[in-house]
Amino acid sequence: MKCVCGEKLREIKTEMDFFDGSVIVRDVNAFYCPKCKEELFDSKEGDRVFDKVSKLNIPMPFESRKKISRVGNSFAIPVSKEIADYLQIKKGESINIKVQSQKRLIVDLC
C-alpha cells in the first residue's frame, strides 16, 4: 500500500490516546509513512478502537450549546460560569484557538 506522497507504507503497532491522554489504547494496527511521518488506520481498525473506547462510557465533564454573538466587528462564544469555574479561568486571561476543520475548533488555555 502507498501513501498519497508515493512512499510505501509499513505496517506497525501503535497506540492512540483519548481524553487528553487519560485513556490509551495499545496495539493498534496502523500503516506508517516514513516520509510524511503519518500513521494511517483502516476503517476496520478504527471501528475496533472506537468500540473499545465507547464501552468505557466516560462522561464528558461539560457540554453546552451556545449561540455565537457579535461584539463590535468580532464574534464571541459565551462560556458558562460552571465551565469557567471548572477550568478556573478569569476575565482577561488568554486562550489559543486552533482551527482543526471547518466544523471544529480547539481551544487551549494559555
Q: When comparing pLDDT for 54 and 32, which is higher? A: 32
Asked if pLDDT for residue 20 goes beyond 90, the answer is no
pTM of the model: 0.52
> How much of the chain exceeds pLDDT 70, in percent?
98
Domain ranges for the chain, please list them: 10-54, 69-109
Average pLDDT, the chain: 89
- Confidence tier at 80 by pLDDT (50, 70, 90): confident
Which whole-number Å values give the CA distances from 42 to 1, 50, 54, 100, in the listed order? Answer: 12, 12, 18, 21
> How many angstroms separate the CA atoms of 38 and 44, rounded?
18
Closest CA to 24 of 14, 32, 33: 14
